[in-house]
Amino acid sequence: MPLENEQFLSVVIPAYNEETNLRAGVLEKVTSYLERQPYTYEVVVTDDGSEDATAAIVESFAATHPCVRLVRAAHGGKGHAVVTGVLASRGEIVLFTDMDQATPISELEALLPWFERGYDVVFGSRGTVRRGAPWWRKVMSRAQIILRGLIVDLPDITDTQCGFKAFRGAAIRRIFERMRLYAPERRQAVEGAVVDSGFDVEILFVARKLGYRLKEVPVTWDYARTRRVSFWRDSLRGLRDLLRIRWNDLCGRYGSA
């Protein structure tokens, strides 16, 4: 059944204390690019319980840009903010991206053609070099690739963590129905900025479990704009989530296609 007021593209942007990026004109850049495209679109910003002026700035912007909507959520971390925004979206294709635009919205041009070739999930990849990233980010990247292969059997995916992923709308909703760690009903209150590294892994794991066609596509990425990753905290959270995904799978909680 078609969604009410369905658009071709929904761009979902999670936001937690993003006043600095918003005042720097991020939404202006995103909408300026989309206005030049030949398809219909909407931008859904999910405010993840921000403590600054994030929500007020987005509301003010949306008042003069009807294709932009603010969705409010209690603070639950980036993963659940994405889920909330996606479930509120109306796009045939749904992209989620970061407010800092470390991967610029124009990289959509690299992703969209793959849907015409029959893919269901098309996601950006920063590769393994990560130019400009510090040594510890490179170590994290290499370790994640090895652990993903050993624990959840995703050895052929180079980069699960790039925050630039697109899906057929029907596919991502079905994926969310099967997720366990980051299922919509399992949101928990958190403190501070939370990256949720296991969120992206669980999405791709479930997508493959359901038989969807996945395509990893190289995109531009600017490390200088990314500030919220912590080596020890996020490494430990990531390992914990990999083990939990594996356990859920062994217990048959993800089902099959």
CB 121 within 8 A of CB 165: yes
Task: Band the pLDDT of 138: cuts 50, 70, 90.
Answer: low
Structure tokens at 202: 């669980």
Cβ-proximal residues to 149 (8 Å cutoff; 6+ apart), any chain: 155
pLDDT averaged over every residue in the chain: 87
Structure tokens at 60: 């003010």
- HSE at residue 80, side-chain half, CA atoms within 13 A, is 21
CB 106 within 8 A of CB 32: no
- In tens, the pLDDT along 48-106 reads 999 999 999 999 999 999 999 999 999 999 999 999 999 999 999 999 999 999 999 99
pLDDT over 50 at 218, yes or no = yes
pTM of the model: 0.88
Element (H, E) at 68: strand 68-73
pLDDT over 50 at 1, yes or no = no
* Domains identified in the chain and CATH numbers: 7-250 (3.90.550.10)
